[in-house]
Amino acid sequence: MIDLLEYRALEDLSRGWRVAQPNLEQVGLLRIEYEGLAEIAADDSRWRGLPAISDAATAQRESICAPYLIIFVCN
């Protein structure tokens, strides 16, 4: 059952492009957290040399990286 629910959740997220039916995360029924993302976002040394994000706050970095991670996971 867990495998089925995981499959359905990932399938739902991969179809997030539909305007008429938002995915579970977009409607607040599912929240995805990435292990280690907060630590990576807080590590300023990793972001040096990236002018668009190097001066951003940790929370901003997390919110910028999370959508890219979900695309990676679903594809």
Instruction: Dump pLDDT digits (tens) for 11-64.
Output: 777 765 555 667 777 778 888 888 899 999 999 999 999 988 889 999 999 988
Q: Total domain count for the chain? A: 2
Q: Do 3 and 19 belong to one domain?
A: yes
| Domain extent at residue 18 | 1-31
Helix 58-74 vs helix 2-14: crossing angle, to nearest 10: 110
Q: What share of the chain is helix, strand, coil (3-state, %, to 5)?
A: 55, 0, 45
47/14 same-domain check: no
pTM over 0.85: no
8 Å CB contact between 30 and 24: yes
Statement to judge: residues 25 and 45 lie in one domain = no
Kindly state the average pLDDT of the residues 3-18: 73
Question: Do 41 and 74 share a structural domain?
Answer: yes
pLDDT at 12: 73
